[in-house]
Amino acid sequence: MSLPFCFVLMPFGIKESDGKAIDFDFIYDKVIKPSITDSGLEPIRADEEIAGGIIHKPMFERLILCDFAIADITTANANVFYELGIRHAIRPFSTVLICSKSKNQLPFDVRMSRVLYYSIRNDGTSDDTEHIKKDLTKSILEIKDSNHRFTDSPLFQLVQDFKPPEIKHLKTDLFLERVQFSNKLKEKVEKAKNEGPSSLKSLEESVDVKNLEYDVVISLFLAYRSIKAWPEMISLVEKMSQPLAETIIVQEQLALALNRNAKSEKAEKVLLELIEKKGGSSETYGILGRVYKDRWDEALKNNNRLMAAGYLNRAIDAYLKGFETDWRDAYPGINALTLMEIKNPPDDRRKQILPVVRYSSERRISTKKPDYWDYATLLELAVLDKDESKVIEAIANAFSTSPDKWQVESTLKNINFIRETRAGRKESTDMEKGVEEELKNYSK
């Protein structure tokens, strides 16, 4: 017999609140999820960010039909409060609110509600996980115990004789069966991913993609991406429901797949239409920059210097717009800087932008566990700035993350571009050669 579900409304990944980065995946894994399982329930997390930021039919069903719910209202996210409002209109006493401690006050409408608070350290995690986990488990158990329930919905607290709608058991049973099916299917996606493209394709063909829950479809979509199955990614979009296919995450990743599958013009068209309809983001512009960067590289190989110069300018412009859209995302910033250095003559704007990209990178490293790309960014910055002491430090830190060879080879390619450009200007390239040698030795 399956356990009752507890629906969790909260952000994914690292988000900033009150000037501090918070690792919400840590809060979920170390606090919320164990509290739910310790209470004899099964957690199910809201998937709107995975499903492209949209609130869809399965989301409404979870809000209405899950017996229990937890909402993290730290970031005052508009979608979370909208969903919380729906939940409070349906369920009088089955929702627990949690929030990080902050100097900012909660919105007035929830200030009267009971809220459990947790503290946040400088690295975005919490130092009182056991305490908040104990309190959260206690709150869930109180809701489960009908003799100790209290009404947590402001609507039911303030409006006399307001009755919750009756929900037929048959509807609830069908919903639970579908959620269980989706969870099992996501596990199959993960297993098939490790077996290769043919296993994923067989799994895809065994289901009705258009009618699957969005998070399952996105899991399949990103599984194809992780094994570089670009044609399969492209064809899967054609099977998706229209609302999901038109989301930003799907359109961005479709463009990435098209570009990697030698369909550069289609990729560009998808991205430009996305920017026109939804506005640009650091991710959208970053992928567009990659499209133009690949065209620049191809034009150079074909010895078409004028065309290469045009694509180089367009790549720089796209990456720069991406960085200006979100200063916290160093990826488009470092790409813009590297291409500005390669340009002949070098783009003078790089002198103003480099310190900003460095601060963005260092800020990111200080608020989360750094990965290879964080240190690789600092390495490229140090090479661009000709700072040998920082080059040595960045290489050591990058290698300490035990990166895959392809990651190191990607950095090596960028350093090679910089060295060849500087050599063409008759500049000393001893430092760049030393960096290349270290990267090559790792990749052997």
What's the rounded Cα separation, in Å, for the pair 312 and 342?
9
Task: Using a pLDDT cut of 90, give the percent of the chain over it.
Answer: 43
Largest CA distance in the chain: 84
Do 173 and 184 belong to one domain?
yes
**pLDDT-wise least confident of 145-154, 161-170, 203-212, 250-259:** 161-170
User: Which residues, at least 6 apart from 120, have a Cβ–Cβ distance to it below 8 Å?
Assistant: 20, 22, 100, 101, 126
User: Which residues, at least 6 apart from 270, have a Cβ–Cβ distance to it below 8 Å?
Assistant: 251, 254, 255, 258
Do 110 and 247 belong to one domain?
no
Q: Is 262 exposed, middle or buried (0-12, 13-18, 19+ CB in 10 A)?
A: exposed
Do 90 and 159 belong to one domain?
yes
Amino acid in position 144: K
Q: Scan for tokens 């000709």, then name that residue.
A: 386
Q: For position 172, what pLDDT does the model report?
A: 47
Across the range 212-235, mean pLDDT stands at: 87
pLDDT single digits (tens) 250-289 = 999 999 999 999 999 999 999 999 999 988 899 999 999 9
Nearest by Cα to 359 from 329, 400, 392, 389 = 329
User: Which residues, at least 6 apart from 101, have a Cβ–Cβ distance to it below 8 Å?
Assistant: 117, 118, 119, 120
Helix (H, G, I), strand (E, B) or coil at 360: helix
Would you say 6 and 44 are in contact if contact means Cβ atoms under 8 Å apart? yes
Q: Is 213 exposed, middle or buried (0-12, 13-18, 19+ CB in 10 A)?
A: buried
Across the range 420-431, mean pLDDT stands at: 93
Res 426 pLDDT > 70 = yes
pLDDT single digits (tens) 35-84 = 999 998 888 887 644 555 555 666 777 777 788 899 888 887 777 888 88
**pLDDT-wise least confident of 161-165, 379-383, 426-430:** 161-165
Structural domain containing residue 178:
168-239
Core vs surface per residue 215-241: b (16+ CB within 10 A) or e: bbbbbbbebbbebebbebbbebbebbe
**pLDDT-wise least confident of 173-187, 330-344, 421-435:** 173-187
Look at residues 192, 216, 239 and tell me which one is the last residue of a structural domain: 239
**pLDDT-wise least confident of 30-39, 144-153, 403-412:** 144-153
Q: For position 54, what pLDDT does the model report?
A: 54
What's the rounded Cα separation, in Å, for the pair 381 and 394?
10
Look at residues 108, 133, 164 and tell me which one is the last residue of a structural domain: 164
Residue, of 50 and 420, whose pLDDT is higher: 420
Q: For position 270, what pLDDT does the model report?
A: 97
Residue, of 415 and 443, whose pLDDT is higher: 415
Confidence of residue 216 (pLDDT cuts 50, 70, 90): confident
Would you say 46 and 8 are in contact if contact means Cβ atoms under 8 Å apart? yes
Query: Would you give the DSSP letter of residue 92?
Result: S
**pLDDT-wise least confident of 47-51, 112-116, 176-180, 203-207:** 47-51
Q: For position 55, what pLDDT does the model report?
A: 53
Do 150 and 235 belong to one domain?
no
Would you say 213 and 182 are in contact if contact means Cβ atoms under 8 Å apart? yes
**pLDDT-wise least confident of 167-171, 236-240, 307-311:** 167-171
Do 143 and 176 belong to one domain?
no
Would you say 77 and 13 are in contact if contact means Cβ atoms under 8 Å apart? no
Residue, of 254 and 124, whose pLDDT is higher: 254
Do 214 and 269 belong to one domain?
no
Q: Is 188 exposed, middle or buried (0-12, 13-18, 19+ CB in 10 A)?
A: middle
Do 275 and 231 belong to one domain?
no
Would you say 151 and 160 are in contact if contact means Cβ atoms under 8 Å apart? no
pLDDT single digits (tens) 383-417 = 999 999 999 999 999 999 998 888 899 899 999 99
Neighbours of 414 (CB within 10 A): 20
Res 171 pLDDT > 50 = no
Res 19 pLDDT > 50 = yes
How far the first Cα of the chain sits from its last, in Å, is 52
Do 155 and 214 belong to one domain?
no
> How is the beta sheet containing 68-72 ordered, strand by strand?
42-45, 5-9, 68-72, 95-100, 115-118
Do 179 and 271 belong to one domain?
no
Q: For position 44, what pLDDT does the model report?
A: 83
Confidence of residue 107 (pLDDT cuts 50, 70, 90): low
Query: Please, how many CA atoms are within 13 Å of residue 11, restricted to the half-sphere of its CB?
Result: 17
Do 60 and 205 belong to one domain?
no
The CATH number that applies at residue 54 is 3.40.50.450
Do 209 and 318 belong to one domain?
no
What's the rounded Cα separation, in Å, for the pair 64 and 149?
19
Do 144 and 191 belong to one domain?
no
Look at residues 104, 137, 164 and tell me which one is the last residue of a structural domain: 164
Average pLDDT of the chain is 85
Domain count, the chain: 3
Work out whether the CA dihedral 20, 24, 29, 34 comes out positive or negative: positive
pLDDT single digits (tens) 324-352 = 998 888 999 999 999 999 998 999 999 99
What's the rounded Cα separation, in Å, for the pair 51 and 249?
8
Q: Scan for tokens 């996105």, then name that residue.
A: 218
